[in-house]
């Protein structure tokens, strides 16, 4: 395990609201204040973006040490430098801590400045929060309550600007709500490298717009919805679907590729409404790709399997878990190990993969074919990984993956009728090139799946499993970081968490079973050196970098 | 006439037969001073400019030599010089005369300044509304190149210089030096935050950059002609040399005049030079340094401190007619010498109308980058426009002043001050005119509550 290393920093003494404190040299005042539990309100400043200082909300008072004739600071009775305060307020975002500086973040002048800026921001802004999708997570709303005045003195007509502007495939813009902070412009230009947003017109009539020949369609466009401090940029996928204060927030990870971006799942009453990125410097900073973000709708797809089913001739009949697992167990007992093939998935969690390995052992060890389906894909310059599987490292670690080397054997074995029993775990055999004709040669085809597909249609037993938002567990991303999934919603109807399915099956085959997923992880930690001394709770929300060499 | 013009910059301008050709310029001793300067050490030229006490003629009146000395001594990047020919402050029309009538004077001033600061690439950023000026400068540059006053190894020296003319995109804010740099880089003219983007450190293309006004650069030539110490004898201490004053408004002879700084008073300028107020009207107000400068009321008295010859300070009370036209006294009188644009208003002028006009300009020209100026300038315009249409309310005066107070000092660039000073000063100086407006009518618009 690699402990996060704190790079050696030079510290300086500064005076913050009358208190002398030590902070890293060069840290900007917004971050300094944050470190001491003080909020300096801001709109345009974002720690990951270039500082532009345009919103003027983070104004602070600043002072420097008074210098004597000897060019040394004059010290007061307390041995600290006396401060010469600047008459003009300064912006906190572009002011960096140096020795002897002093800041007032909440003086009468600053309160007046903030009140003034809040009033300016609101005079031409629609005051229709009740119908704005940003309500509840709007910084304009929050800072207005905290720092604004109680009434508007503005009696003129407001500036009219375009509304419901189609900025790209996934983004709608309301120019009247835009506070022109330029975060979105800087993000897409500097972080994504797709310079397609900008301002046109001047003064109070300035509007945000996309380049006429370059719609805002890059794979990171939805991050601008997250960083937009107001309701100007909204996600077509999420807008007006749910008031944000109703959403339960569950920290988790994205399972759409090997990067494993940290996320927050927003759900209500068993339905996932959105995924947003969660800050993790070691993985995704505070971004995620649009594909991964929106890749959750299948959880509520109409093809979702919600009941265990048994096929009799050509018809499927719903049944209960006890029945289906008994039948699967007896089918497994009736074939010899070299007649069994298990196609597992590197989309499964460590705990699930570990149990699949246990199942293989229970069924006869290496005689049973076991492999996963690799998903090589095109990477990009930011977060999309060349591995489309989120847990290839885990599959490798627990001996489930042969990196797809056995898939050809599997294909031929199905065609020749060698494999009389095949377990397809979250994978569709037709994606390997197994024809439906060959699928029908399998005497017992057992599918663990979320959605119906060609393989489930040809199966004798269908086991409905749990999606990434419906279960707990861990995965190891492509860089060897152990991360945790958390359960946001329950499995629908009678679907079951995968680890429980494997657990019951192993028990029915006479193997050891576990009483909880913690127990499973405990066993993993005991048998796998890379995970020694760890537990699910120890992983925490930021994950742990593993050292496979130790 | 009590005060004679002292024409350095304008020596040849408007002389019969004086043309913009390089031959005419050369016949009148053109480029001789540059030739001499190219034989000097760079530091010597900078020292002459420092000794001259030359203050920038663009508006802020910042010491030119001091500005040059901000280039970091350890700098290894190229240094750029930009001539700010955006002349966009209403009431100002002096640089235009130089560009249109004596372009080589500017080029010679630039050549000396560039050489002194080891600049090998310079730009003239000329406002979009001067299309002919741009052509004249382009032609002058071609002529200068043919005579090897520009280009490679100028006049046999090792020194090479290229000057490019860049036409502005037509916005007031392009005259703000960091906005100008952004515009020159091909972006929207959004002024940069300072710190860290002081032009002398991180200017054009993130390299050290000197931005000087047209008139300022021309003065460099005259400093080198007579020497810094001699130049410093012109004008008054700390307000040296000559400067061009552009007088517009209600005078009989508006125009551009060049005087020693501080050697002429406002009264002399208006009554002696400009032949008094038109139609025999009474003087009401003067905006002394471009439309953003604070207005002066004709009947007020100004308490100013003056340095005596022996170094002691005396305070005295003077009238508007006695204010000498220099940087320091004008600041002491509560306004600024600014760009030298003197706008004169007589007793027929409605000060609310005048302010509404100015506010309309600044609301139109606010770049919109930072909140207070973007929203406040338009708000002020809307209030003053409403006032002029009989819609003033009792509370508007306080509101208007407070809006201006909430802009000034809280913006990225000095536009915040430029747009709020007129409002602040008009209300402070002519409260009765604003109050009169509010008496005429009351507006029963409900006050909206914030969401």
Say if CB A424 and CB A439 are below 8 A apart: no
| A54 contacts on B by Cβ (under 8 Å) | 190, 369-371, 412
Residue closest to B379 by CA, chosen among B399, B394, B357, B395: B399
SS3 A173: strand
Write the CB contacts of B181 (distance below 8 Å, at least 6 apart in sequence).
B82, B192, B199, B203, B204, B209, B211
CA gap B211, B64 in Å, rounded: 10
pLDDT at B247: 97
SS3 B64: helix
Alpha carbons within 13 A on the beta-carbon side of B346: 15
Q: How many residues does chain A have?
A: 550
Cβ-defined contact of A89 to B409 (cutoff 8 Å): yes
Comparing CB atoms, the residue among A55, A123, A151 nearest residue B449 is A151
Cα-based distances in Å from A229 to A70, A171, A181, A318, A320: 48, 15, 8, 49, 49
**H-only helix segments in A188-288:** 223-227
CA gap B126, B21 in Å, rounded: 20
Which segments of A287-418 are extended strands (E)?
309-312, 315-318, 340-344, 369-372
pLDDT single digits (tens) B312-324: 888 889 999 999 9
Say if CB A184 and CB A224 are below 8 A apart: yes
Comparing CB atoms, the residue among A116, A151, A198 nearest residue B406 is A116
Say if CB A113 and CB A89 are below 8 A apart: yes
CA gap A114, B413 in Å, rounded: 18
pLDDT at A7: 53
What the block records as the tokens of A499 is 């680890």
Q: How many angstroms separate the most distant Cα atoms in chain A?
A: 100
CA-nearest residue to B443 within chain A is: A155
B196: preceding bond cis by omega (within 30 degrees): yes
pLDDT single digits (tens) B256-298: 999 999 999 999 999 999 999 999 999 999 999 999 999 999 9
Say if CB B217 and CB B60 are below 8 A apart: no
Pairing of strands A481-485, A544-545: antiparallel
| A141 contacts on B by Cβ (under 8 Å) | 451
pLDDT surpasses 50 at B446: no
Cβ-defined contact of B412 to A155 (cutoff 8 Å): no
**H-only helix segments in B238-280:** 266-267
Residue closest to B437 by CA, chosen among B396, B399, B400: B396
Comparing CB atoms, the residue among A53, A120, A141 nearest residue B375 is A120
Q: Which of A82-91, A478-487, B170-179, B432-441 has the lowest mean pLDDT?
A: B432-441
pLDDT at B219: 97
**What number of H helices and E strands is found in chain B?**
17, 13
Rounded to two decimals, the ipTM of the complex is 0.93
Cβ-defined contact of B383 to A124 (cutoff 8 Å): no
What the block records as the tokens of B29 is 């001793």
CA gap A122, A43 in Å, rounded: 13
| B367 contacts on A by Cβ (under 8 Å) | 202-203
Say if CB B84 and CB B175 are below 8 A apart: yes
Q: How far is A295 from chain B (nearest CA, A)?
A: 35
Provide the residue-wise pLDDT of chain A in tens; the chain has 550 residues. 233 334 547 999 999 999 999 999 999 999 999 999 999 999 999 999 999 999 999 999 999 999 999 999 999 888 899 999 999 999 999 999 999 999 999 999 999 999 999 999 999 999 999 999 999 999 999 999 999 988 889 999 999 999 999 999 999 999 999 999 999 999 999 999 999 999 999 999 999 999 999 899 999 999 999 999 999 999 999 999 999 999 999 999 999 999 999 999 999 999 999 999 999 999 999 999 999 999 999 999 999 999 999 999 899 999 999 999 999 999 999 999 999 999 999 999 999 999 999 999 999 999 999 999 999 999 999 999 999 999 999 999 999 999 999 999 999 999 999 999 999 999 999 999 999 999 999 999 999 999 999 999 999 999 999 999 999 999 999 999 999 999 999 999 999 999 999 999 999 999 999 999 999 999 999 999 999 999 999 999 999 999 875 4
Cβ-defined contact of B375 to A121 (cutoff 8 Å): yes
Cβ-defined contact of A179 to B371 (cutoff 8 Å): yes
Q: Which of B8-12, B57-61, B429-433 has the lowest mean pLDDT?
A: B57-61
Interface size A-B, in CB pairs within 8 Å, comes to 126
Residue B450 near chain A (CB below 8 Å): yes
Cβ-defined contact of B447 to A152 (cutoff 8 Å): yes
The residue written with tokens 């890379």 in the block is: A530
Cα-based distances in Å from B403 to A101, A125, B407, B417, B419: 31, 17, 7, 12, 11
Residue B186 near chain A (CB below 8 Å): no
Cβ-defined contact of B449 to A120 (cutoff 8 Å): no
Cβ-defined contact of A120 to B374 (cutoff 8 Å): yes
pLDDT at A224: 98
Cβ-based burial of A234 (10 A; exposed 0-12, middle 13-18, buried ≥19): buried
> Across chain B, what does the average pLDDT equal?
94
Residues 180-219 of chain A whose Cβ lies under 8 A from any Cβ of chain B: 180, 198-199, 201-206
Residue B211 near chain A (CB below 8 Å): no
| B187 contacts on A by Cβ (under 8 Å) | none
CA gap A144, A138 in Å, rounded: 10
CA gap B110, B99 in Å, rounded: 13
pLDDT single digits (tens) B368-393: 999 999 999 999 999 999 999 988 99
Comparing CB atoms, the residue among B188, B366, B412 nearest residue A203 is B366
pLDDT level of residue B107 (50, 70, 90 thresholds): very high
Q: What count of other Cβ atoms lies within 10 Å of the Cβ of residue A53?
A: 24
CA gap A77, A98 in Å, rounded: 22
Could you give the strand order of the β-sheet that contains A248-253, starting from the edge strand earlier in sequence? A248-253, A262-268, A271-277
| DSSP 8-state code for residue A519 | H
pLDDT at A549: 55
Comparing CB atoms, the residue among B372, B399, B443 nearest residue A120 is B372
CA gap A95, B411 in Å, rounded: 15
pLDDT single digits (tens) B39-74: 999 999 999 999 999 999 998 999 999 999 999 999
Comparing CB atoms, the residue among A87, A148, A203 nearest residue B374 is A203
**Given phi > 0 = left and psi -120 to 50 = alpha, else beta, which region is B170?**
left
CA gap A339, A368 in Å, rounded: 7
């Amino acid at each position: 395990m690699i402990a996060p290393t704190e790079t050696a920093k030079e510290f300086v003494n500064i005076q913050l609201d009358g208190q002398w404190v030590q902070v890293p040299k060069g840290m900007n005042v917004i971050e300094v204040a944050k470190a001491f539990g003080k909020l300096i309100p801001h709109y345009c400043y974002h720690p990951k973006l270039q500082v532009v200082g345009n919103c003027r909300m983070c104004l602070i008072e600043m002072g420097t040490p008074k210098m004597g004739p000897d060019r040394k600071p004059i010290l007061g009775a307390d041995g600290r430098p006396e401060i010469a305060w600047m008459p003009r307020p300064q912006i906190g975002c572009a002011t960096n801590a140096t020795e002897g500086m002093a800041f007032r973040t909440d003086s009468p002048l600053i309160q007046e400045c903030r009140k003034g800026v809040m009033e300016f921001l609101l005079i031409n802004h629609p005051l229709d929060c009740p119908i704005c999708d940003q309500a509840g997570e709007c910084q304009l709303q929050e800072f207005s309550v905290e720092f604004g005045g109680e009434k508007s003195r503005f009696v003129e007509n407001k500036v009219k600007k375009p509304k419901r502007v189609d900025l790209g495939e996934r983004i709608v813009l309301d120019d009247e709500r835009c506070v022109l902070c330029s975060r979105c412009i800087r993000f897409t230009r500097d972080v994504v490298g797709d310079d397609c947003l900008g301002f046109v017109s001047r003064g109070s009539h300035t509007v945000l717009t996309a380049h006429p020949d370059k719609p805002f369609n890059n794979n990171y466009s939805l991050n601008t919805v997250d960083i937009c401090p107001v309701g100007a940029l909204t996600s077509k996928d999420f807008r007006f679907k749910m008031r944000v204060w109703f959403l339960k927030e569950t920290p988790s990870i994205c399972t759409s590729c090997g990067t494993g971006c940290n996320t927050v799942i927003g759900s209500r009453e068993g339905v996932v409404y959105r995924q947003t990125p969660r800050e993790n410097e070691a993985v995704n900073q505070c971004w995620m790709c649009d594909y991964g973000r929106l890749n959750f709708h299948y959880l509520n797809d109409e093809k979702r399997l919600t009941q265990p089913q048994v096929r009799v001739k050509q018809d499927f009949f719903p049944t209960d878990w006890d029945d289906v697992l008994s039948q699967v167990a007896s089918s497994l007992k009736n074939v010899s190990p070299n007649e069994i093939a298990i196609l597992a998935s590197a989309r499964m969690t460590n705990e699930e993969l570990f149990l699949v390995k246990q199942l293989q052992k229970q069924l006869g060890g290496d005689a049973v074919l076991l492999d996963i389906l690799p998903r090589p894909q095109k990477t990009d310059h930011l977060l999309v990984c060349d591995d489309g599987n989120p847990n290839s490292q885990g599959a490798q670690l627990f001996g489930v993956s042969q990196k797809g080397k056995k898939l050809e054997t599997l294909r031929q074995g199905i065609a020749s009728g060698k494999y009389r029993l095949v377990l397809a775990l979250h994978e569709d055999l037709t994606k390997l090139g197994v024809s439906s004709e060959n699928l029908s040669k399998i005497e017992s085809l057992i599918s663990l799946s979320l959605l119906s597909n060609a393989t489930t249609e040809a199966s004798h037993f269908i086991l409905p499993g749990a999606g990434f938002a419906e279960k707990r567990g861990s995965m190891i991303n492509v860089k060897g970081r152990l991360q945790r999934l958390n359960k946001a919603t329950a499995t629908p109807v009678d679907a079951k968490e995968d680890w429980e399915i494997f657990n019951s099956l192993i028990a029915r085959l006479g193997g050891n079973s576990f009483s909880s997923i913690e127990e499973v992880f405990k066993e993993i930690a005991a048998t796998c050196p890379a995970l020694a001394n760890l537990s699910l709770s120890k992983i925490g929300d930021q994950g742990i970098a593993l050292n496979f060499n130790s | 006439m009590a005060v004679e013009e002292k024409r350095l910059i304008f020596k040849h301008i408007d002389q019969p037969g004086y043309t913009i050709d390089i031959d005419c310029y050369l016949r009148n001793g053109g480029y001789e001073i540059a030739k001499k300067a190219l034989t000097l050490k760079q530091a010597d030229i900078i020292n002459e400019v420092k000794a001259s006490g030359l203050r920038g003629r663009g508006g802020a009146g910042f010491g030119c030599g001091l500005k040059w000395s901000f280039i970091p001594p350890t700098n290894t990047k190229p240094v750029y010089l930009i001539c700010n020919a955006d002349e966009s402050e209403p009431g100002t029309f002096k640089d235009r005369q130089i560009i249109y009538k004596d372009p080589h004077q500017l080029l010679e001033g630039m050549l000396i300044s560039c050489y002194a600061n080891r600049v090998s690439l310079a730009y003239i950023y000329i406002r979009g509304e001067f299309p002919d000026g741009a052509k004249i400068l382009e032609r002058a540059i071609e002529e200068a190149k043919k005579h090897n006053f520009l280009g490679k190894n100028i006049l046999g020296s090792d020194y090479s210089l290229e000057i490019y003319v860049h036409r502005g995109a037509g916005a007031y804010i392009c005259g703000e030096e960091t906005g100008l740099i952004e515009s020159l880089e091909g972006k929207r003219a959004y002024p940069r935050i300072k710190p860290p983007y002081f032009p002398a450190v991180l200017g054009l293309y993130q390299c050290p950059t000197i931005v000087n006004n047209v008139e300022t650069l021309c003065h460099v030539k005259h400093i080198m002609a007579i020497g810094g110490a001699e130049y410093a004898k012109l004008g008054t201490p700390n307000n040296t040399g000559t400067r061009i004053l552009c007088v517009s408004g209600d005078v009989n002879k508006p125009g551009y005049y060049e005087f020693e700084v501080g050697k002429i008073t406002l009264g002399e300028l208006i009554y002696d030079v400009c032949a008094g107020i038109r139609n025999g009207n009474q003087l009401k107000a003067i905006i002394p340094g471009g439309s953003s400068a604070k207005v002066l009321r004709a009947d007020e008295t100004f308490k100013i401190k003056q340095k005596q010859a022996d170094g002691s300070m005396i305070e005295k009370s003077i009238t508007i007619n006695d204010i000498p036209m220099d940087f320091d006294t004008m600041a002491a009188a509560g306004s600024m010498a600014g760009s030298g644009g003197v706008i004169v208003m007589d007793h027929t002028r409605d000060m609310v109308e005048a302010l509404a006009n100015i506010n309309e300009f600044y609301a139109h020209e606010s770049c919109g980058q930072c909140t207070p100026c973007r929203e406040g300038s338009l708000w002020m315009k809307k209030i003053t426009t409403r006032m002029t249409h009989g819609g003033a309310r009792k509370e508007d005066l306080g509101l208007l002043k407070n809006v201006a107070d909430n802009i000034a000092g809280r913006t990225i660039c000095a536009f915040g001050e430029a747009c709020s000073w007129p409002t602040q000063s008009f209300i402070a100086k002519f409260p009765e005119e604003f109050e009169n407006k509010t008496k005429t009518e009351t507006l029963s618009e409900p006050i909206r509550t914030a969401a």
